[in-house]
Chain A
Amino acid sequence: MIYVIDHEDSFTYNLVHLLEGFAPTYVSNYYDINWRQLEKSKIIIFSPGPGNPSNYPETQKVYNKYKGKKKIIGICLGFQQILYAENAHIVPQKKIYHGYQSRVKALKESTLFKPNKVFLAGRYHSLKLKEPFNSLSLKITMRCVESNVAMAIEDTINNVYGFQFHPDSFLTVDGKFLIQKVLQF
Chain B
Amino acid sequence: MLNNKEYLNKIFQSNKPLIIYKTIGGYDVYTDFKEKITLNSKNFKNFLNKKTLQLKSPIKELNCYIGFFGFQLLCENIKIKIPKQQSLNFYPGLVYKPQTIIKIRKNIVIKSLLKNFRQIQTSKYENKHFYQKKFNLNLDESKYSNLFKHFSKKIQLGETYQIKICQTYSNKSKIDAVDFFWKLMSINESPESFLIRDKDYSIVSCSPETLIEKKKDVIITKPIAGTLNRTKKMTTKFANNFFKKNEKESKEHNMIVDMERNDLSRICKTGTVKINKLKTVEQYRDLYHYVTEIKGKLKKHITNHDIISAMMPGGSVIGCPKINTIKLLNGREKLNRNIYTGSFGYINTNGDMRFNIIIRSILNYKKRAEISAASGVVIDSKPKREYKENYIKAKSLLDLFKT
Contacts and interface: CB of A to CB of B under 8 A. Distances in A.
Interface of A: 8-14, 16-17, 20-21, 49-52, 77, 92, 96, 98-101, 122, 124-127, 166, 168-171
A49 B275 CA distance: 23
B161 A52 contact: no
Interface of B: 155-162, 250-255, 257-259, 261-263, 265-266, 268, 270-271, 273, 275, 315, 320-324, 378-379
Given A8-B323, A9-B321, A13-B265, A99 B250 contact: yes
A98 B378 contact: yes
B262 A13 contact: yes
A50 B158 CA distance: 6
17 contacts: A9-B321, A10-B262, A13-B266, A14-B258, A16-B265, A49-B321, A50-B161, A50-B324, A92-B156, A92-B157, A92-B158, A99-B255, A99-B378, A100-B254, A127-B157, A166-B258, A169-B254
A96 B381 CA distance: 12
Nearest to B266: A13
Contacts of B266: 13
Given A14-B262, A92-B156, A126-B379, 16 more contacts: A16-B265, A50-B159, A51-B158, A51-B159, A92-B157, A96-B156, A98-B378, A99-B161, A99-B254, A100-B254, A124-B161, A170-B257, A170-B261, A170-B275, A171-B254, A171-B258
A166 B320 CA distance: 15
Contacts of A10: 258-259, 262-263, 315, 320-323
B252 A8 contact: no
A11 B160 contact: no
Contacts of B323: 8, 10
A50 B262 contact: no
A50 B271 contact: no
A66 B157 CA distance: 28
B161 A98 contact: yes
Contact of B321 (A50, A52, A99, A125): A50
Which of B251, B258, B263 counts the most A-chain CB atoms under 10 A from its CB?
B258
A126 B158 contact: yes
A14 B270 contact: no
Given A17-B265, A20-B270, A11 B158 contact: no
A52 B157 contact: yes
A126 B155 contact: yes
B158 A17 contact: no
Contacts of B158: 50-52, 77, 92, 125-127
A168 B262 CA distance: 9
Contacts, number: 102
Contacts of A21: 270-271
A51 B324 contact: yes
A170 B257 CA distance: 8
Contacts of B265: 13-14, 16-17
A100 B252 CA distance: 9
A155 to B, nearest CB: 24
Nearest to A100: B251
B255 A13 contact: no
Which of A11, A50, A51, A100 counts the most B-chain CB atoms under 10 A from its CB?
A50
Contact of B262 (A12, A51, A99, A126): A12
Which of B158, B161, B254, B258 counts the most A-chain CB atoms under 10 A from its CB?
B158
Top 5 nearest A-B pairs (CB, nearest first) are A99-B251, A99-B254, A10-B321, A17-B265, A13-B265
Nearest to B267: A13
B61 to A, nearest CB: 34
B211 to A, nearest CB: 15
A98 B258 contact: no
Contacts of A14: 258, 261-262, 265
A10 B378 CA distance: 16
Contacts of B155: 96, 98, 126
Nearest to B158: A126
Contact of B324 (A8, A12, A16): A8
Contacts of B315: 10
Nearest to A49: B321
Given A10-B315, A14-B261, A122-B254, A50 B322 contact: no
B149 to A, nearest CB: 15
B258 A170 contact: yes
Contact of A11 (B162, B253, B259, B270): B259
Contacts of A127: 157-158
B269 to A, nearest CB: 9
Nearest to A92: B156
A3 to B, nearest CB: 17
Nearest to A27: B266
Which of B266, B275, B322 counts the most A-chain CB atoms under 10 A from its CB?
B266
A168 B255 CA distance: 12
Which of B250, B251, B259 counts the most A-chain CB atoms under 10 A from its CB?
B251
A183 to B, nearest CB: 14
A98 B322 contact: no
A167 B258 CA distance: 11
Nearest to B278: A170
Contacts of B162: 98-99
Contacts of B324: 8, 50-51
Nearest to B250: A99
A172 to B, nearest CB: 10
